[in-house]
Structure 1
Amino acid sequence: MFLNTLHLWQFRNYCDQWVEFTAPKTIVLGENAQGKSNLLESVELLATLRSHRAMRDRELVLEGTEEGRAAARLERAIGAMDLGMVMRRSGRRTLVANGQTLKRQVDFLGLMSAVEFSSLDLDLVRGGPGYRRHWIDTLLVQLEPMYHHLLQQYNTVLRQRNALLKRHAKSDSSCLNSTELAIWDAQLATVGTRVIRRRARAIARLAPLASTWHSNISDHRETLILRYAPSVPMDADDPEQIQQTFLERIKQRAIAEQAQGTTLVGPHRDEIDFIINDTPARQFGSQGQQRTLVLALKLAELKLIEAVIGEPPLLLLDDVLAELDLNRQNKLLDTIQDRFQTLITTTHLGSFDAQWLKSSQILTVKAGEIIENEP
């Protein structure tokens, strides 16, 4: 796929900006806090409906305005597509594809695919489990758009069950409505099992790709293992067995849940382990090892999405070259070549050789305005 144009209107620090992409590789040049990351963030939003930099849409809208918009024209093997998203401070979104307003978010997902890699992704290794769950969920949404709806279902059930437990924990009564709780238990186990199975399958497909990349980048000195560690153990991909184990775990934690007023079992408690040469990367991995690991994960994402959708996704590299040593930079740049349309932000051009610069479109960003450098 190829991103032809991007239009940002009242998005972050952009008032009204059109961008035309004319080469497989686009270098977005500028000082910090000028809008480079905002440009890539808009593409990430159109691909995944998520931002790794913002929790609420009000953060995405230009200060002093009530709504913003990001729109793109995309060339795919199946034909051209026009995509648009309106974000409002109120939180209500409007999604448009080929001139049609979509009623369901799931109908928008999968139209554009992108892999984003930023310096913040090092938190995948050194951060808490929430970072890793968010990472695998974002990938799954692109591989299987209906997963977005499934995750919404699970989070809705989880909120309702937590609300019941919290009311009980705060009340003086020792009685908990066991009938109502049993209803939420059953729904949590049913929907949670679907989430667990999909996460497990995604990790199983991603793991060998990431392991191969990691071995290549480390010159075969290190072995990477990705291991899914769900809070509900699964011996096999058997939904009935997983669901039964889920319900048994809920019973085992019942007293603790009622005391704490929160759900302690389910996909929201899952972990993904990264192990390098039999050592947990989060606890003992050096910064170099952690960077190699994240780079391997991102390259594996590219390959997996390409295999599933049948064409290369977009690659968004947000100020990552400064985080990588020369060897890792070369591995990344050599892999990209012209196979993946790449948008890469940087504060200087020193990391690129003459051939890269010659074959790249160079855009300069200053205070939310973009100009194209003369060749």
Structure 2
Amino acid sequence: MFLRSLHLRQFRNYRDQAVSFAAPKTILVGDNAQGKSNLLEAVELLATLRSHRSNRDRDLVQQGAEEGSIAARLDRDSGSVDLGLVLRSSGRRTVSLNGQTLKRQVEFLGTMSAVEFSSLDLELVRGGPGHRRQWIDTLLTQLEPVYAHLLQQYTLALRQRNALLKQSSSRTEAAIPLDRAQLAVWDAQLATLGTRVIRRRARAIARIAPFAEFWHRDISGSRESLEIRYAPSVPMEKDDPTLIQQAFLEKIRQRAIAEQVQHTTLVGPHRDEIEFTINHTPARQYGSQGQQRTLVLALKLAELKLIESVVGEPPLLLLDDVLAELDPKRQHKLLDTIQDRFQTLITTTHLDSFDSQWLRSSQVLTVVAGQIAPA
């Protein structure tokens, strides 16, 4: 797939900016805080309907405006498609394909695929479990768009169950006895939906692990061995939905007293962990900075390969000021792997990391205060 054009209106610091892409690689160069990352964020939103930088649409809409929009023309093997996304300060979004407004956002997902790699991704290794859950959920949304709807359903059930547990809090004057019949209803909902989330996450980890382990071994010169393990909060001996659901409900029963004391749900996919080990040593606690960077780079290259194998077309690659985080060896491995196979948008403050051959085959654009122009 190839992104032909992008048009941003009242999005972040872009008032009205159109840009066309004419080469497999586009380098966006400029000082910090000029809008380079904002452009990549817009592409990420079209691919996943998520931003790794903000959870609120009002942060994406230009200050003082009620709504902003992102429009794009994408070439795929099956033909060209026009994508549209309208963001509102009120939080109500509108998505469209080929000018037709879609009733369900899940119908929009899967049209464009993209892998985003930024300096923030180091938190994948050294950050808390939430970073790793968000990573696998974003990947799954592109591999299996219906997963976004499933995750939304699970989150809603989780909120309802937590609200019921909080109602019985003895710390509030309005505390009421816990409605155990109602709690049992939400237990069943949580176990049913949570089982579906767990099974899909487990399958995704099993699919991406061989790719990541290959790249990690390649980048480290076969000196290091990476292992990725999914550690759900619910025991999962077999990929059997009935057995997982039973184990889910049993775990809820085991944690019932603790949940009533803490007034929150302690069992489910929102408590899952993904463990990375290098040479049988936990990468989060004991991995060096270089090892952690190698691990994240291997994960991103693995995402590219996995999405390409599932979708049947190479996804876009978004590199947000990441070259500065990599040493020359890792930079070379990344740039050598990309070549012209993946359409790549790269942000940087200078062009020193690129050799003359790369620059000749790239489109170079300057970004200054939300204005984009050829270099």
TM-score normalised by L of structure 2: 0.99
Cα displacement (A) at 1:169: 1.7
Q: 2:345 aligns with which of 334, 343, 346?
A: 343
Are residues 1:325 and 2:309 paired? no
Moved over 4 A (4+): 171-174
User: Matches of residues 76-225 of structure 1 in structure 2 within 5 Å?
Assistant: 76-170=76-170, 175-225=177-227
- Identify unmatched segments of 5+ residues in structure 2: none
In the other structure, the counterpart of 1:283 is 285
In the other structure, the counterpart of 2:54 is 54
In the other structure, the counterpart of 2:230 is 228
Give a deviation string over 1:305-358, Cα, whole Å, max 9, x none: 000000000000000000000000000000000000000000000000010000
In the other structure, the counterpart of 2:251 is 249
AA paired with 2:286?
F
In the other structure, the counterpart of 1:268 is 270
In the other structure, the counterpart of 1:365 is 367
Whole-Å separation in 1 of the counterparts to 2:276 and 2:120: 17
Give a deviation string over 1:156-182, Cα, whole Å, max 9, x none: 000000000000124576832111000
Whole-Å separation in 2 of the counterparts to 1:184 and 1:240: 17
- Identify unmatched segments of 5+ residues in structure 1: none
Whole-Å separation in 2 of the counterparts to 1:54 and 1:174: 36
Whole-Å separation in 2 of the counterparts to 1:58 and 1:221: 47
Q: How many residues align?
A: 373
Give a deviation string over 1:272-299, Cα, whole Å, max 9, x none: 0000001000000000000000000000
**3-state SS in 1 of match to 2:62:** coil
AA paired with 1:198?
R
User: Matches of residues 288-299 of structure 1 in structure 2 within 5 Å?
Assistant: 288-299=290-301
AA paired with 1:105?
Q
**3-state SS in 1 of match to 2:166:** helix
Range 310-319 or range 171-180, more displaced = 171-180
Cα displacement (A) at 1:64: 1.0
AA paired with 1:212?
F
Whole-Å separation in 2 of the counterparts to 1:169 and 1:239: 33
Range 244-253 or range 165-174, more displaced = 165-174
Give a deviation string over 1:191-232, Cα, whole Å, max 9, x none: 000000000000000001000000000111000000000000
Whole-Å separation in 1 of the counterparts to 2:293 and 2:181: 49
**Identity fraction in percent:** 75
Are residues 1:3 and 2:30 paired? no
**3-state SS in 2 of match to 1:237:** coil
Whole-Å separation in 1 of the counterparts to 2:97 and 2:54: 23
Whole-Å separation in 1 of the counterparts to 2:20 and 2:57: 25
AA paired with 1:95?
V
Whole-Å separation in 1 of the counterparts to 2:156 and 2:272: 17
In the other structure, the counterpart of 1:304 is 306
AA paired with 1:326?
P
**3-state SS in 2 of match to 1:169:** coil
**3-state SS in 2 of match to 1:43:** helix
Whole-Å separation in 2 of the counterparts to 1:71 and 1:140: 24
TM-score normalised by L of structure 1: 0.99
